Every structure is written in C-alpha cells, then in structure tokens.
Chains A and B, each alone.
Chain A
C-alpha cells in the first residue's frame, strides 16, 4: 500500500528542482568542453573556435609521457589490487581464522583515512624501508613507478575487497560445498563455481580501482619520483604555474576516457544483468 503524501509539492517545483540539480552537476562539464575550444589565451574567456590546444597537447611529449605512466600505473596496480582484494574478500567471507575481526577492521582504514594521511604514511614507509634496505643489504632504491604502484595497490585493495565481499555475501556457500562434494579441488571449486559467480563483483571492483588510480593526485604526488609523474599530478603542477587552456583540453580528454570506462562497465553489467538476476534468485530461493 503506498502512502499518500501529506504535503504535495506542485509539479513545477519538482521540475525546477530537477533542472537546478542537473544544471549544477553538468554545467561545469559543459563549460569545460566549450572553453577547451576557445581561442583566447585566458581560460575563462571566449575568443572564437580553435582546436589549437588539442594540437599542442598532442605535440607535448611530456604530457604524453605522463599519460603513459598513468595508464601503466593504473593497469598494474588494478591487476594487483583486484587479485589481492578478491583474495582478502574470500578470506573474510569464507574462512574463520585468528585475527579475522582485526583484519576486517584494518582493511577499511584506507577508505576512511584522509588522502593526505595515507600519502604521508606511504612516504614515511618508503623512506624508512629504503634506508633500512640500504644499510642492511646495500640495495639502493628510489621512488618512482614501483612506489606509485605499491601505494595505489595499498588503497585500492580496500575498495576492491568491499565490492567483491558484497557479491560473495550474496552467494550461497553450499555451492562451493557441492563443488567439492563433486570431486573439485579447492582451486577447481574457485575456478569453476566461485569465480564465475562473483565475476561481476570482481569486475566492478577492478573498474573502481582503475578510476581511483587514474584519479589520484595526493598520494601519488608524495610517492612519485623524478620521471614518474602521472597525468593528474602533471595537470595539478600546470595549474600552479597558471591555468592555460591546454588544461581544459587535457581535462576533456580525461573526461572522455572516464566516460568510455563507465560506458564499458555499464555495457558489461547489462550483459551480465539477466544472468546476475538468475543467480541471485536461485541462490536466494528454495531454502
């Protein structure tokens, strides 16, 4: 039975509200796209149409290097974080072990603590461990690609694990028992039963990790070394030098890239949707 609203807003009020929200959300994006084609050197001023900023962008080898670094960091850190995050999600949902509750609580820390704290922590960790390695084994290490990847993995594990856990929690554990009853080893049960059923969650976690990694400025800035600047860090440094319309163009490209990612994930979810619904119904019902 639906409840009858006591105070009913007039339709025009609701429509206005909707319009304002949409304007608030999308106007900056539209402005950004428009001004990325402005010929004026001052970023907020319209000076006629030009694609010049995109052209300079494609000539800018430094910018291209940073894009390459960003993509590599995102791919490697996402791969590692997805594997580790899925493993920890399985451990927390399927096994009982000593320190499980502590591990559970600690796993969420990277989601809660501020980026800056995380960044300082990682920086401290690297400088301490590098000097320790130096003094013990004489191995000289410096910050760079690897430290960025490790830091991104550190915060992405938490996000992947949260997403995957939600999926595992909705999955019937007797399915794994049935697999082992039907002669599957632990690995085979995971490979042929668990993984196909939690795949949408794992994929969702991975996409989240890619986005967060491509997005991160604060942590990366602290742990990056010379020659390993990522795109967002580079953009941020450009702003400090004064905003040029090139930034608008870069931002539009990043926007398009994320739109493609989102569209891809939505498409995948659609393809999985009918199957996912079936899975939830069979595992949820009948008991």
Chain B
C-alpha cells in the first residue's frame, strides 16, 4: 500500500533562507499525523507545500502515489483547515460549506445533501443561514472542518486548528477532532507547536526544528526514546548528562562514571552524546539506600518545590544539577534543602541523544 503523503528530499527556500531542509516523510493512509515544532521551524511551510500553497524548491511530493509537487492547490485531492479558519465572510455557513462542491460542478441535488451531512457531522445543524461573524470561535472552527470534509479529501491538512481557541474549548475540540477523524477515516496531517496536543491527538508525531525533520514516531517512542536532544527537550522536560558512547549500550559520563543505556544505533561508538533523564524517572533516596545494580549518583538537595501532586527537587552534584520529580504521597519520604541524597534509575529509564 502506498503512503497517503510521501515527501522525498523536500526543501523550500525563501530568497536565501532555507525554511524546509531536505525532508523525507511518509504518512500512512488513515493516520492522524502531527508535525510538531517551535514557531519558524518549517512545519507550516511543509503543510502548505502539501496543500500546494507553496511550491517546493527541490524534492518530490506524492499523494497516494501521484506526483503533485508542481500542481496548483485546486488540482490536489487535499483540503486545508486554516489557522484563522479563513471562512468567507460574505457567505452563509451553508454557502461556505458548499463552495468546494460548487467549484467542482457537483450536481445541485447532491450538493445540498452533502452539505447537510457535513454540517450535521460537525453538529452545526440549524446554523446554515448564519454568517461567520455571527459564530463563536469554536463554531467557526467546526464550519471550517465541515467546509473541508464535505469534499471528501484524501488528506485533510490542519494548520494549528486549535491555537485560536481558549483552553477549555481547545480541550473539548481536541477530543472532537480525534473522534471526527475516527469517524471519517481520512488521513489528518496536523501542525502544532503544542506538544501536549500532539501527544494527545496523534498516531505519530514528526518533530521539526530549523527546517529539518529530526524524528518521527509514536507519541510513546518520542517521549521514551528521543534520538535528539532537541526532541527530548521539546517533548516533556529532561536532564541531560554529558558523556561519550563507549559501546552501543555503555556511556562514560563526564565524571568518569560508566552507566548502562538502552542500545543505540543512531550514534557511532566514541561520539560525544548526552543522556536524557526524565525528572519523574529519577528516584531520590537517603544516602546508600539505593537498590543494588542500578545507576546512581549522589548529591545535595539544593531546593524543593511543592506542586500539589508532586514535588520537584533540584539536586546539585559536583559536576551538574539534576531535576527530580516525585509524587507527593504520605508513604514517600520528603527531602529538604541541604540533605545528602542518592539518585538512582533503571537502565531503561534513559535515552541516548545527539547533543
């Protein structure tokens, strides 16, 4: 089966600035895919190239096996939900939704049934006659979805679709979006700078930075086994321990200590690496009470921050500071500033990343 969207060596230059740099990516049919990255990382440009709103400077772009790299947007089997929705202000909700079908000269009777279907799919029945300015942000968002989905695109592109909504509505729409995607079974490609949104919604995530696609994987893979320091830092929080890869599963830290790590093949032995250690995966205990056979470091508690359900300690070693997050439970011992403590973790709690 060919991929829904397939990018090979896609680059985009604006004048002399490289916005997207040699991206290879396959998005499977029926997948909910998130392109995640900070603003200016090239994720929106990548989406716009799939939509046809920008033409790639180099590379090949296929949609279901058909080369579309140089086709204008109106010739591509994709539809877009724009960040500000871009609803036509001079048209009613029904006319907005019908626009794509009218442009494709679909018979009138079919248009009205499909428009009704799409409007009820996004639960906007009864609002057909309203103008976009008479709708709330969440309603405009739904109309934008209906306007795109009514065309039965092979791929639906969403550019930060939830960014303009307030927090509560955003969480509600996240849920609806996920449900909608399951219902219609269309491939969704979704651009966001919000890592929580990406983790919650998508089947797979691609993290971009500086125009490059750094890593693609399921939300769990991205969180548990980041291959790049940027990815580990952008998705969740992490401590980074500097060292050198001595063998595929041993890292020598800068303090001379050797630790076991999950085997990596993305880094060559002998290279400088960093070990990503999530704050909630580090255990904290009194000196010399760590279990045997685990990696451990000792240090002094520098500060403690109480967050309600958890406590965050900053522990100073003689060569770096490590952040530790523990649950706040009556059965767990609290440590205080100035206490000497040991930190330990299981070998599979860490990930080796490129610095």
- Give the B-binding residues of A (Cβ under 8 A): 172, 174-175, 177-185, 188, 192-193, 196-197, 275, 278-279, 281-283, 286-287
Q: Which of B84-115 contact A (CB under 8 A)?
A: 84-90, 99-100, 103-104
Instruction: Indicate if the CB atoms of A183 and B133 lie closer than 8 Å.
Output: no
Chain A residues with CB under 8 A of B53: 177, 180-181
Chain A residues with CB under 8 A of B147: 182
Q: Which of B150-179 contact A (CB under 8 A)?
A: 151, 164
Chain B residues with CB under 8 A of A282: 87, 89, 132-133
**A187 to B104 CA separation, bound complex (whole angstroms):** 14
**A235 to B136 CA separation, bound complex (whole angstroms):** 59
Instruction: Indicate if the CB atoms of B133 and A181 lie closer than 8 Å.
Output: no
For residue A188, give the distance in angstroms from its CB to the closest CB of chain B: 6
B192 at interface by CB-CB < 8 Å: no
Q: Across the two chains, which residue of chain B brings its CB closest to A196?
A: B90
Instruction: Indicate if the CB atoms of A172 and B86 lie closer than 8 Å.
Output: yes
- What would 4 more interface pairs be, CB under 8 Å, given A182-B100, A182-B151, A184-B74? A174-B82, A183-B100, A183-B151, A287-B84
**A279 to B132 CA separation, bound complex (whole angstroms):** 9
**A187 to B305 CA separation, bound complex (whole angstroms):** 61
**A178 to B73 CA separation, bound complex (whole angstroms):** 9
Instruction: Indicate if the CB atoms of A175 and B88 lie closer than 8 Å.
Output: yes
Given A181-B74, A183-B104, A278-B133: A286 and B79 interface contact (C-beta under 8 Å) = no
Given A278-B131, A286-B85, A287-B164: A181 and B73 interface contact (C-beta under 8 Å) = yes
Instruction: Indicate if the CB atoms of B90 and A178 lie closer than 8 Å.
Output: no
Chain A residues with CB under 8 A of B73: 177, 180-181
Given A279-B89, A282-B133: A180 and B164 interface contact (C-beta under 8 Å) = no
For residue B77, give the distance in angstroms from its CB to the closest CB of chain A: 10
Instruction: Indicate if the CB atoms of A180 and B79 lie closer than 8 Å.
Output: no
Residue tally, chain B, CB below 8 Å to A: 31
B338 at interface by CB-CB < 8 Å: no
User: Most chain-A CB neighbours within 10 Å: which of B80, B148, B164?
Assistant: B80
Q: Show 29 A/B contacts (Cβ-Cβ < 8 Å), sorted by A.
A: A175-B86, A175-B88, A177-B53, A177-B73, A177-B86, A178-B80, A178-B82, A178-B86, A178-B87, A179-B88, A179-B99, A180-B52, A180-B72, A181-B73, A181-B78, A182-B100, A182-B147, A184-B74, A184-B99, A184-B103, A192-B99, A197-B90, A278-B89, A278-B131, A282-B89, A283-B89, A286-B85, A286-B164, A287-B84
Fill in one digit per residue for B54-92: 1 if any A CB lies within 8 Å of its CB, else 0. Answer: 000000000000000000111000111011111111100
**A184 to B99 CA separation, bound complex (whole angstroms):** 9
Q: Which of B2-40 contact A (CB under 8 A)?
A: none
Q: Which of B199-256 contact A (CB under 8 A)?
A: none
B51 at interface by CB-CB < 8 Å: yes
For residue B258, give the distance in angstroms from its CB to the closest CB of chain A: 53
**A159 to B231 CA separation, bound complex (whole angstroms):** 54
For residue A18, give the distance in angstroms from its CB to the closest CB of chain B: 38
Chain B residues with CB under 8 A of A196: 90
User: Most chain-A CB neighbours within 10 Å: which of B89, B140, B147, B148?
Assistant: B89
Instruction: Indicate if the CB atoms of A193 and B88 lie closer than 8 Å.
Output: yes
Q: Across the two chains, which residue of chain B brings its CB closest to A171?
A: B89
**A279 to B89 CA separation, bound complex (whole angstroms):** 5
B279 at interface by CB-CB < 8 Å: no
Q: Across the two chains, which residue of chain B brings its CB closest to A275?
A: B90
Q: Across the two chains, which residue of chain A brings its CB closest to B102?
A: A192
**A185 to B51 CA separation, bound complex (whole angstroms):** 15
User: Most chain-A CB neighbours within 10 Å: which of B133, B140, B164?
Assistant: B133
Instruction: Indicate if the CB atoms of A279 and B84 lie closer than 8 Å.
Output: no
Which A-B residue pairs are the 10 nearest by beta carbons? A182-B100, A178-B86, A282-B89, A183-B103, A287-B84, A174-B86, A279-B89, A278-B133, A180-B73, A286-B84
**A192 to B101 CA separation, bound complex (whole angstroms):** 14
Q: Which of B114-133 contact A (CB under 8 A)?
A: 131-133
